[in-house]
Structures are given as C-alpha cells and as structure tokens.
Amino acid sequence: MSKINVAVLGATGSVGQKFIELLANHPWFELIEVAASNRSAYKKYGEAANWFMQTPMPENIKNMEVKECIPNLTAKVVFSGLDSGVAGEIEEKFASAGYTVISNSKNHRNDVNVPLMIPEVNADHLAMLKNQSTGYIVTNPNCSTIGMVTALKPLYDKFGIEQVNVVTMQAISGAGYPGVPSLDIYDNVVPFIDSEEPKMEKEPLKILGKLNSSNKVEFADIKISAQCNRVAVIDGHTECVQIKFKKKPTKEEIIEAWTSYRGEPQKLNLPSAPKQPIHYFEENKYPQPRIHRNLEGGMAVSVGRLRECPLFDFKFVVMSHNTVRGAAGGTILIAELMKEKNLI
C-alpha cells in the first residue's frame, strides 16, 4: 500500500513535535512537509526546532526546510498543532483551498459543521463533513475531555447519564513548552487553567450528541460541572469523576461496560488504536500517571477507584496521556479512521 503524504502545521511547537515523533514510522502516512511561523520558515527543521521529545529527532526531518503556514503545500492532508492564537484563520484558508485539516487546536471545535472527534466514541459524526465544501476541517477535543468522555461513553449508552462532576489534576505538558514556570508549579497546585473548565463542560455534549437528518448534532442532555487544576506531573491527566445515572447500574455492570467496550477503531484494527480502549484497575491506588500513562502506547484510558457516591450514584478516577491520546496520537487516529472511511 502506498502511503498518504501528510504535513504538520505548527511543527516546531510541543504538539507539532509529538506529531512528528508519532508519524516517523507510521504505516499509512508519510510526513513530507513541515510548516511553522515566519520566524522558523525557510530554516532547516533541526535549526528551527528546540526538540524536547524523548526520542531523537528523525534523521529525515532534520534537513527538511520549514515552510510557511500557507496553502501551497504538496501534501493535501495536514495535521494542525498550531497555537489557538493563529490556528483559526490558517486552518480556514487551508480548508478553503481544498486541504483536509485535522486539528488539535480549539478554534473550530464548536463550529456547527465540524466534527469534534473521539474515534471510539462518535465515529458516525464524520457524516458532518457532508455539510462542508471544498476541503475539510475535523477537530480533536480538549485533552482532559478525551479521557473523561471515553470513560463516560459506554455508561452513557447503557444506563444514561444526567449529571457529571469532575475535578482534574492536569499535567504541566498540557501547557505546552516552556509551559508553567517552575516557581509557579514546584511544591504547588494551580487551581486555574484558562478556558479549560468551559471546554470540559461543553465539549462532551457535542461529542455524545446524536446526528439529526441534516447531519447536525443534537447535543446530549447532561449537566456537567468541572474544576481544573495544574499539578506537578509531566504527562498524564488525572480526573476524579462523579456521575448521576438515569438508570442506576451495579458496580459490576459498570466495570463490564468499560472492559467490554470496543469502538470503530478497534473493529477496524487501526494502527494507532489501543486493543482495549478502557482498562479498569481494582487496586485502590490505581490509576497513576507515572505507571499507566504509556499503556498501549499512550492511547488507552485507565480507570479505577469505582465506588458508590453519597451525593451522586458512583464516583471513579480516570487517567489518560494528554499529549498522546489527548493531542497528537488522538488526532492521528482520526486521520486513520478517515482513511478507512475513504475520506482522505
């Protein structure tokens, strides 16, 4: 099978670097172009990027010339790791020029015709692309939303959900590079992440919503309250979740719903898909970011500490890798799903 040529926008940033790392040996996609801001354009990538991934910079990328983020690239499929301050207009220009833009940025997540995708959760939302013209924009959700909604999906389908309360403990890598100053985060918890709580309260309603006959989303009817905190963990967002169900299940039924759940990526055996998207742990001290964030290449979601709640029905802890599952890896998985659905 010949590979599909792809490019990365915002290639020198933290998400852009993770895209490059994960695409280095991808069986379906060939990274042929990188693009970034004007201060990096026309330099060799090895000179423009302050590489801080744990694996070495791919040799074939080092001498690749960084291009401008304008729609004159050869690759017609682009992954966007652009900063939200510039992503919106740039992504629109690429889509208008006929490119397929698969974005990790927040700018178009709430657009009425743009899918907000977790492939295991709402693969059918790709039908929204019928309402777009020329090119496509598809978005990856907020990194903290992804872990929670993946855990909610099988429970929502089986038992219905009325209310959710979530308190997050989010890793510093979620702030990008150089991120949170050490004097702010060391020996500390920062109880505020700009615009994070509104995302967690709104995005799940679109993701769990149903498409109507016009391929537009009718949002799920769930009340969600979120409190988001930055903690001194490098990778891996941990979230404490409380749920009130429409039809209260037993603990055993919840665990069975999690462990048996498989989505479209598992059925299609997509290259980046975890074999089991949700792993449940009985141990009281699990899940933990340092132990479980790299489970199934960082693409699986870990849950544990399931118990009854005196205020809601049940409560549990969920943990996911924010820069892999929650950013570049999740976005690449969307592209894999689109490829199998003959959309790219």
Task: List pLDDT tens digits, range 132-186.
Answer: 988 999 999 999 999 999 999 999 999 999 999 999 999 999 999 888 999 999 9
25 pLDDT above the threshold of 80: yes
Percentage above 70 pLDDT, the chain: 100
**Helix, strand counts (H, E) of the chain:** 12, 14
1 pLDDT above the threshold of 80: no
192 pLDDT above the threshold of 90: yes
Residue entry with tokens 């964030």: 293
Give the pLDDT of residue 177.
86
Burial of 57 (0-12, 13-18, 19+ CB in 10 A): middle
Give the pLDDT of residue 178.
87
Where in the chain do CATH 3.40.50.720 domains reside?
4-142+328-340
The C-alpha atoms of residue 236 and residue 144 are separated, in whole angstroms, by 9
Beta-carbon contacts of 211 under 8 Å, excluding residues fewer than 6 positions away, are 124, 125, 127, 128, 217, 218
Give the pLDDT of residue 4.
97
Give the pLDDT of residue 156.
98
What 3-state class would DSSP assign to 139?
strand
- Taking residues 237-260, report their average pLDDT: 98
Pick among 3.40.1390.10, 3.30.360.10, 3.90.1170.50, 3.40.50.10490: CATH of 143-321: 3.30.360.10
- Taking residues 311-320, report their average pLDDT: 98
Over residues 45-85, the pLDDT tens digits come to 999 999 999 999 999 999 999 999 999 999 999 999 999 99
Give the pLDDT of residue 217.
98
- Taking residues 316-325, report their average pLDDT: 98
Pick among 3.40.50.300, 3.40.50.720, 3.10.450.40, 3.60.15.10: CATH of 4-142+328-340: 3.40.50.720
The C-alpha atoms of residue 94 and residue 27 are separated, in whole angstroms, by 25
Which residue spans within 128-184 are E strands per DSSP?
A: 136-139, 161-170
- Taking residues 109-121, report their average pLDDT: 97
- Between the CA of residue 119 and those of 91, 107, 227, 267, 342, what are the distances in Å? 21, 19, 26, 11, 15
**Mean pLDDT, rounded, of the chain:** 97
Give the pLDDT of residue 189.
97
What 3-state class would DSSP assign to 219?
coil
Q: What are phi and psi of 308, to 5 degrees?
A: -70, 150
Reading the block at residue 264, the tokens are 């479209």
316 pLDDT above the threshold of 90: yes
What residues act catalytically? Answer: 143, 237
Where in the chain do CATH 3.30.360.10 domains reside?
143-321
